[in-house]
């Protein structure tokens, strides 16, 4: 256990436990991740657990070993003891204990949130994994890539089983994931979201979206009944596996590059500090309300026209097709062009203020273009790959476009794929005409 104590430590300070990634050390993580800047600025305590090569030859936290991932056992219990020691030695506030980490440290963050929800107020998982995704080294690699697909309720039950009888409150969770991560598949961000939204009793459709930072990281927020952000997902464009940093002296800048797995993009530690509520600002300032009345008002073979009720204070709007933002018109109506005939899409709209911050998204509406219906093919997984409708990775097959997991790459698994729009395939077993 290493500690960074700011020169000016707040009275009854908050504590952030920061867990390094594989091959890293506590010092390396402290020097590069950017958390130290904000601890010094806001007066909270940083605790840096350090894995040893005696426990793991690559200095990874053993997030996949049952003896280290259960309440009261192994590494999980050791980290919990570090929090207790910090409270005794530095008088930290037991109501403001947080945890974050990268990769194996991110996966261990999930472990701590699940096994000690009565200790941790919030956590931030950076390029990490859902809790109880693996129970040995072999399954750990499969969890990392291509990922494990479970229902939200199954993932949530794994968390509840980590501390039987505990009924809440549950930690708030931020999930950070690079779009081009070759080590921890970006599917894991969705599975983490599914796990923690279900724990909080929420659905998996974001209530509010926005773009943050210098590289327009895509933020999705899932709100509890009181309007606070219970879960958020921050998807960082065009980065591989590592901690997002943005070296510099600006208010939203932090960290250092030049060492593996610290990537120049956005200062994630700035946003994580804010998510934890440690920057003195309102951690959930709200935003513009969701537009009402979204409806399809026209369609052709290649376009869909949408209309909605204007929102007071909105400078523009963000239009989402199938979950991806496609345009930011100044107001309704809006026509989405360049579509394929006979295609069906789901739309939602969010109002944007003058700074570009988005409010809550509207209810979704499904709209179809006119023209011929989508094409369907039924074949085994091998044939789908050979015909260019799917790809293979790690022994599994994924539908092109939707990237849905179709199962093992062999002739024994058969699926029906629907193509809509051209080049985009989705599994349509038993539903495709």
Q: Tell me which residues are annotated as active site.
A: 103
Distances (CA, A) of 11 to 8, 38, 87, 175, 275: 9, 16, 12, 29, 21
d(CA 319, CA 364): 11
Distances (CA, A) of 374 to 298, 318, 342, 378: 20, 27, 6, 13
- Cβ(38)–Cβ(245) below 8 Å: no
**Which of 79, 127, 112 lies closest to 260 in space, CA to CA?**
127
d(CA 360, CA 350): 6
Radius of gyration of the chain (CA): 23
d(CA 180, CA 237): 7
d(CA 268, CA 325): 22
Bridge pairing between strands 122-126 and 172-178:
parallel
The residues pairing with 396 across neighbouring beta strands, listed in sequence order, are 393, 408
**Kind plus residue range of the DSSP H or E element containing 157:** helix 152-162
Bridge pairing between strands 2-4 and 243-245:
unpaired
């Amino acid at each position: 256990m290493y500690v960074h104590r700011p020169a000016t430590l707040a009275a009854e300070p908050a504590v952030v436990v920061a867990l390094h990634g594989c091959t890293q050390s506590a010092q390396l993580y402290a020097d590069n991740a950017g958390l130290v800047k904000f601890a010094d600025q806001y007066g909270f305590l940083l605790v840096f657990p350090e894995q040893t090569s005696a426990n793991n030859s690559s200095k990874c936290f053993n997030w996949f070993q049952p003896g280290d991932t259960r309440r009261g056992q192994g590494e999980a219990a050791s980290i919990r003891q570090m929090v207790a020691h910090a409270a005794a030695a530095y008088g930290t506030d037991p109501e403001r204990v947080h945890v974050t980490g990268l990769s194996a440290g991110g996966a261990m963050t999930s472990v701590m949130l699940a096994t000690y929800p009565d200790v941790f107020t919030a956590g931030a998982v950076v390029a990490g994994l859902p809790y109880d995704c693996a129970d040995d080294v072999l399954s750990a690699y499969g969890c990392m890539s291509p990922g494990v697909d479970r229902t939200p309720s199954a993932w949530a039950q794994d968390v509840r089983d980590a501390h039987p009888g505990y009924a809440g409150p549950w930690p708030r969770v931020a999930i950070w994931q690079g779009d081009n991560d070759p080590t921890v598949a970006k599917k894991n961000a969705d599975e983490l979201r599914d796990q923690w939204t279900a724990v909080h009793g929420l659905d998996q459709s974001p209530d509010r979206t926005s773009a943050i930072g210098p590289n327009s990281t895509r933020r999705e927020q899932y709100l509890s009944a009181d309007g606070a952000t219970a879960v958020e997902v921050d998807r960082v464009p065009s980065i591989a596996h590592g901690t997002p940093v943005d070296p510099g002296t600006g208010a939203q800048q932090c960290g250092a590059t030049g060492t593996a797995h610290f990537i120049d993009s956005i200062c994630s530690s700035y946003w994580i500090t804010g998510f934890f509520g440690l920057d003195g600002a309102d951690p959930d300032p709200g935003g513009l309300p969701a537009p009402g009345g979204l409806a399809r008002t026209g369609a052709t073979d290649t376009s869909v026209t949408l209309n909605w009720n204007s929102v007071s204070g909105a400078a523009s709007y963000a239009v989402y097709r199938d979950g991806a933002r496609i345009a930011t018109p100044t107001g309704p109506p809006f026509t989405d062009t360049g579509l394929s005939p006979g295609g069906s899409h789901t739309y939602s709209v969010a109002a944007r203020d003058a700074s570009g911050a988005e409010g809550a998204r509207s209810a979704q509406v499904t709209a179809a273009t006119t023209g011929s219906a989508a094409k369907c093919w039924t074949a085994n997984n091998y044939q789908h790959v050979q015909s260019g409708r799917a790809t293979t990775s790690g022994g599994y097959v994924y539908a092109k476009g939707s990237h849905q997991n179709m199962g093992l790459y062999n002739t024994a698994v058969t699926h029906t794929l629907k193509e809509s729009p051209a080049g985009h395939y989705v599994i349509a077993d038993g539903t495709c005409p």
